[in-house]
Copies of this chain bind each other. A is one copy, B any other.
């Protein structure tokens, strides 16, 4: 469903071209100083409006706190944040309603929700929904300031020279995918709740909820499948569990081992591409050629880092609370 987490739980709502998108955060410790400003930097990074390869739509991403704050601090009760939707051009979508866009949820949502779904701009499936995630992530980061979560784009279109990868897409007038790597420093050992709630399990669960993610790997990941045991095994070198190498990506037995948490995410190319495509028109029962109107990113991977950081922070706060490493009331 649309909620995630145990003791730090987020609930997401809204549609791309509806009134608003938003999020409710339940289980945030009381006493945390928060203001709109604390969220703006990450929200700005998500918009990426000035970046080459991202959508020119200027979304209104100012967070409206509707509950859970009093005198500038969290109360311990649910925090609901709204983002008004403005600057929408719904007509772009209406005209093409009967031609489900390849790679988009148009067809699956239509089948599952009987045609009642708000299809405009991707509705609930729109990347616009990640605004709430980023807001919740910014708050999560403030709860665990000593844990440093960083992400970088590792590849675009197979190129580690990202400028080059992006230029390929611009030249081809086509969208393109990428790989994001996330590193978490300062994570205490002992996080993770096996059997089923290993760190890998819960992080992957959350990450695969982000639109366009098609693969997740931890530490050596898919490369580990090619290794010998003695190559892959990380030799433990002190009593705190520090290891010589980090092929495990900081997780053994589903539990953090005190080393850096490292994982990578495969982002598929944006489904919306300016190029001509074909699909099945369910009104005319014929294949049809079309190109996608609207303002879209050539490479959603460019916006992904701050979203990955956000969901990572959200998951880690939950694990920290389960492990009683965060007080209910901050002092």
A binding-site residues for B, Cβ under 8 Å: 1-4, 6-7, 9, 11-15, 18-22, 24, 26-27, 30-31, 65-70, 73-80, 82, 100, 102-105, 107-109, 111-114, 116-118, 123-125, 129, 155, 157-158, 169, 172, 174-179, 189-190, 192-198, 200-202, 204-206, 208-209, 211, 213-239, 241, 243, 247-249, 252-258, 266-273, 275, 277-280, 282, 285, 287, 301, 322-324, 327-329, 331
Given known pairs A224-B269, A273-B230, the reply for A201 and B205 (CB within 8 Å) is yes
Q: Which residues does chain B contribute within 8 Å of A279, judged by CB atoms?
A: 235-236
| Cα(A271)–Cα(B275), bound, Å | 48
A196 contacts B3, CB within 8 Å?
yes
- Flag if B103 contacts A229 (CB, 8 Å): yes
Q: How many copies does the complex hold?
A: 4
Task: Knowing that A1-B196, A230-B273, A235-B277 touch, tell me 12 more A-B residue pairs with CB under 8 angstroms.
Answer: A1-B9, A13-B66, A75-B113, A105-B254, A155-B225, A177-B224, A204-B204, A221-B266, A224-B269, A229-B270, A236-B280, A238-B280
Q: In the complex the two chains form, is B253's CB within 8 Å of A196's CB? A: no
Closest to A298 in B: B229
Residue contact A285 to B239, C-beta cutoff 8 Å: yes
* Contact status A233-B277, CB under 8 Å: yes
Q: Check if A18 sits within 8 Å of B104, measured CB to CB.
A: no
The answer for the CA separation of A271 and B9 in the assembled complex, in Å, is 32
A75 B277 Cβ-Cβ under 8 A: no
Contacts of A324 in B (CB 8 A): 324, 327-328
Decide if A111 touches B280 in the complex (CB within 8 Å).
no
Residues in B with CB closer than 8 Å to A256 are 108
Is B31 touching A75 in the complex (CB atoms < 8 A)?
no
CB neighbours (8 Å) of A158 from chain B are 225-226
Q: When the two chains form their complex, are residues A102 and B328 in contact, meaning their CB atoms are under 8 A apart?
A: no
Other-chain contact of A228, B157, B190, B322 (Cβ < 8 Å): B157
Query: Could you jot down 23 A-B contacts, CB within 8 Å?
Result: A1-B196, A13-B68, A15-B67, A15-B75, A30-B113, A70-B116, A75-B117, A76-B113, A76-B116, A77-B124, A124-B194, A174-B228, A179-B222, A179-B225, A196-B205, A198-B209, A214-B220, A214-B224, A215-B217, A229-B273, A233-B269, A237-B280, A239-B282
